[in-house]
Amino acid sequence: MRRDWPQAVRGVNFLWFPIPAYSSLTVLLWIMHARMWTFTLALVLIGVLTYLHLRGRSVVWVIRRFKSALRGRVVYARPVWYRRRTQHLGSFDLIDLKGK
């Protein structure tokens, strides 16, 4: 007996094309605001989302990659206030830990 629930992770396609179903929301946007530029925007977004779907990527993956590119290559283990406080010290003996 075959169950349908393991197939739920495969995702839903738009009609018979390898287009993710959520990209059809751009067509809804075009229907609500029928202009040539919204039609062009809908086609471009459908193309981009289809390309990402065929490559095995998602929109969330693209956002994470963009945020990591903005962050830079170095991720510090210490908080900003600690790095600023100890950045120009030659020795940790100069830090006033008791707080006067």
Residue carrying structure tokens 């459908």: 46
pLDDT at residue 60 tops 80: yes
Task: Give the model's confidence band at 30: pLDDT under 50 very low, under 70 low, under 90 confident, else very high.
Answer: confident
Residue 14: name the closest of 28, 3, 4 by CA.
28
Q: Where are the domains of the chain?
A: 12-73
**pLDDT above 70 as % of the chain:** 77
- CB–CB of 11/20 below 8 Å? yes
Using one digit for the tens of pLDDT, what is the confidence trace for 61-98? 999 999 999 988 888 888 888 878 777 766 667 667 77
Please state the pTM of the whole predicted model: 0.56
Give the three-state DSSP class for 45: helix
Residue 26: name the closest of 48, 47, 41 by CA.
41
The mean per-residue pLDDT over the stretch 9-23 comes to: 68
Bridge partners (DSSP) listed for residue 13? 20
Residue 47: name the closest of 68, 67, 26 by CA.
26
- What is the residue-averaged pLDDT of the chain? 80
pLDDT at residue 42 tops 80: yes
Q: Determine the Cα angle at 66 with ends 60 and 72, to 5°.
A: 135
